[in-house]
Amino acid sequence: MKLLFTKNYCYLTLCLVLFLSGCTLPKPIKGAVVSAREEASAIGVAIMKQGGTAFDAMIATDLALTVCYPNAGNISGGGFFMYRTAAGEVGSLDYREKAPLGASSDMYLDKEGNIVPNKSTLGGLAVGVPGTVAGLVAIHKKFGTLAWEDLVQPAIDLAREGYLVTEKQQRSFESKKETFIALNGPDTLYAQGFQAGDRVQNTALAETLERIAMFGKAGFYEGPVADDLVERVRETGGIITHEDLLAYEPVWRDPINFQYKELNIYSMGPPSSGGICLGQILKMIEPYDVGQYEHNSVEAMQVIVEAERRSYADRSLYLGDPDFIQIPKDSLLDVDYLNERMNSFTFEKATKSTDIAPGTIQWEESEETTHYSIVDPMGNAVAVTTTLNGSYGSKVFVEKGGYFLNNEMDDFSSKPGVPNMFGLIGGKANAIAPQKRMLSAMTPTLVERNGKLAMVVGTPGGSTIITSVLQTILNVYEFEMDVQSAVSAARFHHQWLPDVVVFEPGRFDPALIKSLQDKDYNIKEEYSRIIGRVDAIQISDSGEITTGADPRGDDTAVPLF
Ligand code: DON
């Protein structure tokens, strides 16, 4: 109430000042796209200016990211699409990759049953059957209002005309150059030493996109594009066939829905763990009323970390592809069950992860996925998280097609109890099987308050996705930050195993870290990997749209006035 009064007072003062100085009021934002690249956000907004909806903008934005954000934007990976129509209908599309028909549970193990290093992350065998193009076509079929080819065209133009390399991209290309060459040869496009400010033109990708524009799903899963993909996968040791490509279908699924205080939250269900884990963590936190503590204070962090620990332990046991296993969704989100899980927590001392479930593991670095959030002037909202898994996926580049292939197979549990590249462990529920989808942490999320859309949010970051989305929501609704501050604020992460709290380096008070160490928390503060790159949109009760683009990346919000 006090906040509302202060805000209104400021607004009236601003009006008066502007009136007296002869200026006009800033135009209200009618819609927005927040994505990992300015070009992609601008392309989405341009589509809305032509009369397109958030759904049309989504397709154009996604394909633009394929061109100018090749580490994660993709036509050859997969993702999850959450939507809320202006009328309040909410749903989700699963276009996650699938294991090829020839896959088997022990395909990454040697004769002794040990994991062969890199086999599930580098090269053709790491590639899951892509879902992205099938997903985009399905979204267009259900919701598109502009012609498909008009939505693909901006990405074709961007690929032909080229995009400008940013400093962050230059560093990223440099860090992967040797691997690109090892897998694709010295002439491969992304080993050409692009510097910040250079223009990257990708004619091969423009031609691939032209086929997709012309033939839709068949433009990717059949014909020359499919031939080149299958050949490249085979050359690099993989097993994807034409039959795999033809068999791929995305699935419309019910989102996970739960309440947190006055918020009604929708997020992605299995095969993503995002929705269930976000729900579990928020519901475990709810009775503690974390807003009573300061943001990133010892008490608030303890409650959050302990809830995260318990939820990630459940994730490893129960979650996987719902088309293959039974998931006790309702029990996992049951309030009594979750309260009981927190019974062992005290503010005195950290719970040990070995007391929740056994295990000792290593944790290696890796990144990239990408998330974008869109709202349009009609009130439709879209949250999409899409990925090649690792940065540039399997690092296998289809030279003739101009794109990288995913390494999503590593998201399966190759061997029970042995961590994947995000340090996540799993068991039977997430074991490899032909045509199965690998478990994900991607958490595209929509928040409603008072029956109205209040926030669109999501992020990349592997296992840190869930905890980054969580912290952004808490920052806004418990710690009363505006959405940009909520996105920019320092983050931390715990995932049950390894039993460490990871902090963004240099952003937390040493005294706070010492207090946590005194309570027996293991702390890791040096840079290990990104803890999210959140792109979010907030809609106030009065309908005011504000955006939060993560300064950790090149992420940019482009408003529609
Ligand atoms: O689906 C998943 O959970 C992972 N493949 C996401 C990978 C990711 O976020 C990497 N980005 N930083």
Reference 538, options 494, 496, 493, 475; nearest CA is: 475
The pick from 321, 442, 535 for probing ligand 1's pocket by mutation, whose C-beta has the most ligand atoms within 8 angstroms, reads 442
Protein residue with its CA nearest to atom 2 in ligand 1: 440
Q: What is the pLDDT of residues 129-166, one digit of tens each?
A: 999 999 999 999 999 999 999 999 999 999 999 999 99
Average pLDDT on 92-101 reads 98
Cis peptide before 271 (omega within 30 of 0): yes
pLDDT band at 71 (very low <50, low <70, confident <90, very high): very high
Predicted confidence at residue 358, as pLDDT, reads: 37
Residue 274 CA, closest ligand 1 atom number: 3
Report how far ligand 1's centroid is from the alpha carbon of 440 (Å). Answer: 7
Atom 8 of ligand 1, residue of closest alpha carbon = 462
Alpha-carbon Rg for the chain, nearest whole angstrom, is 23
Q: Which one of 465, 527, 552 would you pick to mutate in the ligand 1 pocket, going by the greatest count of ligand atoms within 8 A of its CB?
A: 465
The predicted-structure confidence for 489-515, as pLDDT tens digits, reads as follows 999 999 999 999 999 999 999 999 999
Q: Is the pLDDT confidence value at 364 over 60?
A: no
Rounded CA separation 486/457 (Å) = 11
> Tens digit of pLDDT for each residue in 194-211?
999 999 999 999 999 999
Residue whose Cα lies nearest atom 10 of ligand 1: it is 368
Please choose, from the candidates 402, 457, 414, the residue with its C-alpha nearest in 3D space to the C-alpha of residue 224.
Answer: 402
Is pLDDT above 80 for 176?
Answer: yes
pTM: 0.94
- Percent of the chain, pLDDT > 70? 93
pLDDT in tens, 260-313: 999 999 999 999 999 999 999 999 999 999 999 999 999 999 999 999 999 999
pLDDT, position 416: 87
The band of 3, judged by pLDDT with boundaries at 50, 70 and 90, is: very low
Ligand 1 atom at minimal distance to the Cα of residue 530: 12
Where are the alpha helices (H) located in 347-499, listed in sequence order? 353-356, 464-477, 483-488
16 alpha carbon to ligand 1 midpoint, in Å?
Answer: 48
Which residue blocks in 333-408 are alpha helix, DSSP H?
335-341, 353-356
In tens, the pLDDT along 209-248 reads 999 999 999 999 999 999 999 999 999 999 999 999 999 9
Residue 477: predicted pLDDT: 98
Q: What is the per-residue pLDDT for 366? A: 53
Distance 512 CA to ligand 1 centre (A): 29
pLDDT of residue 423: 86
Reply yes or no on whether the pLDDT at 253 is more than 90: yes
Quick one: which H or E segment has residue 373?
strand 369-375
Q: Give the residue whose CA is nearest to atom 6 of ligand 1.
A: 462
**C-alpha of residue 462 to centroid of ligand 1, in Å:** 4
Phi-psi map region of 515: left, alpha, beta (phi>0 left; psi -120 to 50 alpha):
alpha
pLDDT band for position 19 (cuts 50, 70, 90): low
Return the pLDDT at 363: 41
Question: Tokens in use for 43?
Answer: 């392309």
pLDDT at 362 over 50: no
Which residues have a catalytic role annotated?
A: 369
- Per-residue pLDDT reduced to its tens digit, 27-38: 899 999 999 999
Q: What is the pLDDT of residue 361?
A: 31
Residues within a 6 A CB radius of ligand 1: 367-369, 387, 389, 408, 411, 440-442, 460-462, 465, 530
| Rounded distance from Cα 143 to ligand 1 centre (Å) | 27
On the question of pLDDT at 1 being above 60, the answer is no
In this structure, what is the dihedral angle of CA atoms 36, 38, 40, 41, given to the nearest 10 degrees? 90
Ligand 1 atom index nearest CA of 461 = 12
Pocket test residue of 387, 388, 440 for ligand 1, highest count of atoms within 8 A of CB: 387
Query: What pLDDT, on a 0 to 100 scale, did the predictor assign at position 523?
Result: 93
In this prediction, residues 48-56 reach a mean pLDDT of: 98
Nearest to 69 by CA among 556, 560, 528, 561: 556
Position in ligand 1 atom list of the atom nearest CA 273: 3
Give 385 Cα–ligand 1 centroid separation in angstroms. 9
Instruction: Report how far ligand 1's centroid is from the alpha carbon of 250 (Å).
Output: 19
Q: What is the pLDDT, as a whole number, of residue 27?
A: 85
How would DSSP label each residue in 78-98?
Answer: EEEEEEE-TT--EEEEEE--B
